[in-house]
Chains A and B, each alone.
Chain A
Amino acid sequence: MQRNHSSVLAILAALLVLTHGGAAFTAPGHQEDEKQPTHYVVKAAKIFAPHLAEADAEGFVSDRWLEVADGRVKQLGLGAPPEGVEVMDMGAAWLMPGLVDMGAEVFRGMDSDGIGPRYVAADKFNPFADFKSVWDMGVTTARLGVPGKRFIAGQGSVVKFGGSPETAVVLARVADLQVNFNDDRGRGEADFENVPFPSSADVPYEPKPEPKPQTRLGRIAALKGDLAAARALAGAGPEDARLRALADFMTSGRPLRIDARRAADIAQALEALRAIDAFGLSAYIAGADESLAMAESLGRAGLPVVFEVDNALARLNDADWNEVRPWRRDPSAPAALEKMGVPVILGGAGSDLLMAASIAVGAGLSPRSALEAISSRPARLLGVADRVGSLETGRDADFIVLNGDPLSSLSHVQQVFVGGRRAWERKVEDRPLVVRAGRILDGLGGVILDGEILIEKGKIVAVGRSVPHPKNADFVDAGPGATVTPGFIDVHSHLGFENDRAVPAPDVPLADALGGPGPEFADVARAGVTTALVSPPRVGGGGAQVAAVKTAARDRDDFVAKPVAAVKLAVGGSSDNVRSSLTGLLSKAKKYQEAWAKYEEELAKFKSGAPAPAPEPASKPAEEKKEEPAEKDAAKEDDEVDASDPLSGTWSVTLSGGPMPKPQEGLTAKIRLEGERVAGTITNPLDTDEDATFQGSFDGKTLRAEIDVETPFGTTTLIARLEKPENLSGAISLGGVMDIDLKATRTKKGAPKITIPVAAAPAPASAPGGPKAPKLDDKLEPLRAVFDGRAGVIVQVKGAPLVRTVSEVFDGFKLPVIILDGAGMIDVLDELKGETALALPHTLVDETDEKRTFLPERLERKGIKMAFQSSAGWGANGLPFLARMAVRGGLGSDTALRALTGDAARLLRLDDTVGAIKQGLDGDLLIFDGEPFDARSRLLKVFIRGREVK
Chain B
Amino acid sequence: MRKMMRNLGAALLVLTMVAASRGLAQTRAKVMIEGARIVPVVGEVIEKGNILVEDGRITAVGADVKAPFDAKVIDASGKTVFPGLVDPLQWNGLDVSNESQDVTPFTEVYDSIDPSDRYFEEALRGGYTTLHMSHAMNCVIGGLSRVVHPIGMTVDEMTQRADCGLMISIFPKRNYDHAVQMAVLRDTFTELDRYLDELAEKRYAEEQEKKGEKVTVGPDEARKLGRDLVRESDLDRRYLNLWRLKQGKIHAFVWCNRAMDVGHAMSLAEKVGFKENMTLVTGSEVFKNVAALKGLKRPVILPSGSMVFTERDRITLEEEDTFVASVYADKKIPFALSTTKEPLYDAARLVRNGVARQTALEAVTINGARAIGLDHMVGSIEVGKLANLVILTGDPLDAMTWVDGVLVNGVLVYERSKDKRLRELMLGVAETEERRKAEKSEADKAEKKPAGENEKK
Interface residues of A (CB under 8 A from B): 1-2, 5-7, 9-11, 13-14, 16-18, 20-22, 24-26, 28-30, 107, 110-115, 118-130, 132-133, 136, 146-147, 154, 165, 194, 196-198, 238-239, 241, 244, 659, 661-662
Asked whether, in the complex, the Cβ of B178 is within 8 Å of the Cβ of A24, the reply is: no
A123 to B402, CA, bound (A): 48
Asked whether, in the complex, the Cβ of A118 is within 8 Å of the Cβ of B187, the reply is: yes
In the complex, which residues of chain B have a beta carbon less than 8 angstroms from the beta carbon of A24? 321
Interface string of B286-310 (1 = CB under 8 A from A): 0111000000000000000000100
> Does B395 touch A at the CB level, under 8 Å?
yes
Most buried by A among B264, B314, B399: B399
In the complex, which residues of chain B have a beta carbon less than 8 angstroms from the beta carbon of A165? 289
Partner of A28, one of B101, B323, B351: B323
Interface string of B78-114 (1 = CB under 8 A from A): 0000000000000000000000011110100000000
> Does B446 touch A at the CB level, under 8 Å?
no
In the complex, which residues of chain A have a beta carbon less than 8 angstroms from the beta carbon of B400? 6-7, 10-11, 13-14, 661
Interface string of B313-351 (1 = CB under 8 A from A): 111000011111011001000000000000001001101
A114 CB to closest chain B CB (Å) equals 8
A199 CB to closest chain B CB (Å) equals 12
In the complex, which residues of chain B have a beta carbon less than 8 angstroms from the beta carbon of A662? 394-395, 398
> Does B216 touch A at the CB level, under 8 Å?
no
A120 to B102, CA, bound (A): 18
In the complex, which residues of chain B have a beta carbon less than 8 angstroms from the beta carbon of A194? 101-102
A4 CB to closest chain B CB (Å) equals 10
Q: Which stretch of B123-131, B169-177, B407-415, B437-445 is in the interface?
A: B169-177
Asked whether, in the complex, the Cβ of B315 is within 8 Å of the Cβ of A5, the reply is: no
Given A28-B323, A119-B179, A123-B181, 14 more A-B residue pairs with CB atoms under 8 Å apart are A10-B399, A13-B345, A17-B348, A22-B349, A24-B321, A25-B321, A26-B320, A120-B182, A120-B183, A123-B264, A132-B313, A194-B102, A197-B104, A241-B187
| In the complex with contacts A25-B308, A120-B183, A197-B106, A661-B401 CB distance below 8 A | yes
A427 to B25, CA, bound (A): 69
Closest to A2 in B: B426
Partner of A661, one of B183, B238, B285, B395: B395
A565 to B315, CA, bound (A): 42
Most buried by A among B183, B289, B348, B427: B183
Closest to A168 in B: B260
Asked whether, in the complex, the Cβ of B238 is within 8 Å of the Cβ of A197, the reply is: yes
In the complex, which residues of chain A have a beta carbon less than 8 angstroms from the beta carbon of B420? none
A252 CB to closest chain B CB (Å) equals 16
Asked whether, in the complex, the Cβ of A130 is within 8 Å of the Cβ of B313, the reply is: yes
Asked whether, in the complex, the Cβ of B426 is within 8 Å of the Cβ of A6, the reply is: yes
A127 to B398, CA, bound (A): 41
**Chain B interface category by residue count:** 35 or more
A239 to B186, CA, bound (A): 14
> Does B385 touch A at the CB level, under 8 Å?
no
A9 CB to closest chain B CB (Å) equals 8
> Does B311 touch A at the CB level, under 8 Å?
yes
In the complex, which residues of chain B have a beta carbon less than 8 angstroms from the beta carbon of A22? 323, 326, 349, 352-354
In the complex, which residues of chain B have a beta carbon less than 8 angstroms from the beta carbon of A238? 194
Closest to B259 in A: A128
Asked whether, in the complex, the Cβ of B327 is within 8 Å of the Cβ of A28, the reply is: yes
Closest to A112 in B: B177
A196 to B192, CA, bound (A): 14
| In the complex with contacts A6-B400, A17-B349, A125-B260, A197-B175 CB distance below 8 A | no
A295 to B69, CA, bound (A): 101
A766 to B315, CA, bound (A): 49
Asked whether, in the complex, the Cβ of A107 is within 8 Å of the Cβ of B177, the reply is: yes
Asked whether, in the complex, the Cβ of A110 is within 8 Å of the Cβ of B177, the reply is: yes
Asked whether, in the complex, the Cβ of A128 is within 8 Å of the Cβ of B285, the reply is: yes
Most buried by A among B179, B238, B353, B427: B179
Most buried by B among A7, A28, A29, A194: A28
Interface residues of B (CB under 8 A from A): 101-104, 106, 172, 175-183, 186-187, 190-191, 194, 238, 258-260, 264, 285, 287-289, 308, 311, 313-315, 320-324, 326-327, 330, 345, 348-349, 351-354, 394-395, 397-402, 423, 426-427
A241 to B180, CA, bound (A): 13
In the complex, which residues of chain B have a beta carbon less than 8 angstroms from the beta carbon of A118? 183, 186-187
Asked whether, in the complex, the Cβ of A111 is within 8 Å of the Cβ of B330, the reply is: no
Asked whether, in the complex, the Cβ of B179 is within 8 Å of the Cβ of A120, the reply is: yes
- The number of residue pairs between A and B whose CB atoms lie closer than 8 Å in the complex comes to 155
Asked whether, in the complex, the Cβ of B352 is within 8 Å of the Cβ of A154, the reply is: no
Asked whether, in the complex, the Cβ of A6 is within 8 Å of the Cβ of B322, the reply is: no
Shortest Cβ-Cβ A-B pairs, 9 listed: A661-B398, A22-B353, A21-B352, A10-B400, A661-B395, A124-B178, A28-B326, A128-B259, A13-B399
A147 to B104, CA, bound (A): 27
Closest to A30 in B: B288
In the complex, which residues of chain A have a beta carbon less than 8 angstroms from the beta carbon of B103? 196-197
Asked whether, in the complex, the Cβ of B323 is within 8 Å of the Cβ of A111, the reply is: no
| In the complex with contacts A126-B258, A194-B101, A28-B322 CB distance below 8 A | yes
Q: Can you list 7 A-B contacts (CB < 8 A)?
A: A1-B427, A28-B287, A113-B180, A123-B179, A124-B179, A128-B259, A197-B106
In the complex, which residues of chain A have a beta carbon less than 8 angstroms from the beta carbon of B354? 22, 28
In the complex, which residues of chain B have a beta carbon less than 8 angstroms from the beta carbon of A659? 351
Asked whether, in the complex, the Cβ of B394 is within 8 Å of the Cβ of A110, the reply is: no
Partner of A26, one of B181, B285, B289, B322: B322
Asked whether, in the complex, the Cβ of A6 is within 8 Å of the Cβ of B402, the reply is: yes
Asked whether, in the complex, the Cβ of A29 is within 8 Å of the Cβ of B178, the reply is: no
B286 CB to closest chain A CB (Å) equals 9
A124 to B183, CA, bound (A): 11
In the complex, which residues of chain B have a beta carbon less than 8 angstroms from the beta carbon of A130? 311, 313-314
A30 to B284, CA, bound (A): 13
Closest to A202 in B: B236
In the complex, which residues of chain A have a beta carbon less than 8 angstroms from the beta carbon of B427? 1, 5
In the complex, which residues of chain A have a beta carbon less than 8 angstroms from the beta carbon of B178? 110, 123-126
Partner of A119, one of B180, B259, B320: B180
Closest to A195 in B: B101
In the complex, which residues of chain B have a beta carbon less than 8 angstroms from the beta carbon of A107? 177
Asked whether, in the complex, the Cβ of A29 is within 8 Å of the Cβ of B394, the reply is: no
A113 to B184, CA, bound (A): 13
Asked whether, in the complex, the Cβ of B194 is within 8 Å of the Cβ of A136, the reply is: no
Asked whether, in the complex, the Cβ of A123 is within 8 Å of the Cβ of B101, the reply is: no
Asked whether, in the complex, the Cβ of A112 is within 8 Å of the Cβ of B323, the reply is: no
In the complex, which residues of chain A have a beta carbon less than 8 angstroms from the beta carbon of B321? 24-26
Asked whether, in the complex, the Cβ of A17 is within 8 Å of the Cβ of B345, the reply is: yes
Asked whether, in the complex, the Cβ of A25 is within 8 Å of the Cβ of B353, the reply is: yes
A136 to B315, CA, bound (A): 9
B453 CB to closest chain A CB (Å) equals 33
Partner of B179, one of A20, A21, A121, A127: A121
A199 to B427, CA, bound (A): 52
Asked whether, in the complex, the Cβ of A112 is within 8 Å of the Cβ of B314, the reply is: no
A484 to B346, CA, bound (A): 65
In the complex, which residues of chain A have a beta carbon less than 8 angstroms from the beta carbon of B323? 22, 25, 28
Most buried by A among B313, B314, B401: B314
Asked whether, in the complex, the Cβ of B194 is within 8 Å of the Cβ of A239, the reply is: yes
In the complex, which residues of chain B have a beta carbon less than 8 angstroms from the beta carbon of A14? 399-400
B383 CB to closest chain A CB (Å) equals 27
Closest to B288 in A: A128
Asked whether, in the complex, the Cβ of A124 is within 8 Å of the Cβ of B177, the reply is: yes
A25 to B104, CA, bound (A): 39
B218 CB to closest chain A CB (Å) equals 12
Asked whether, in the complex, the Cβ of A20 is within 8 Å of the Cβ of B322, the reply is: no
In the complex, which residues of chain A have a beta carbon less than 8 angstroms from the beta carbon of B313? 130, 132
Asked whether, in the complex, the Cβ of B177 is within 8 Å of the Cβ of A126, the reply is: no
A661 to B360, CA, bound (A): 14
Closest to A165 in B: B289
A679 to B173, CA, bound (A): 62
A946 to B285, CA, bound (A): 41
In the complex, which residues of chain B have a beta carbon less than 8 angstroms from the beta carbon of A110? 172, 177-178
In the complex, which residues of chain A have a beta carbon less than 8 angstroms from the beta carbon of B315? 132-133, 136
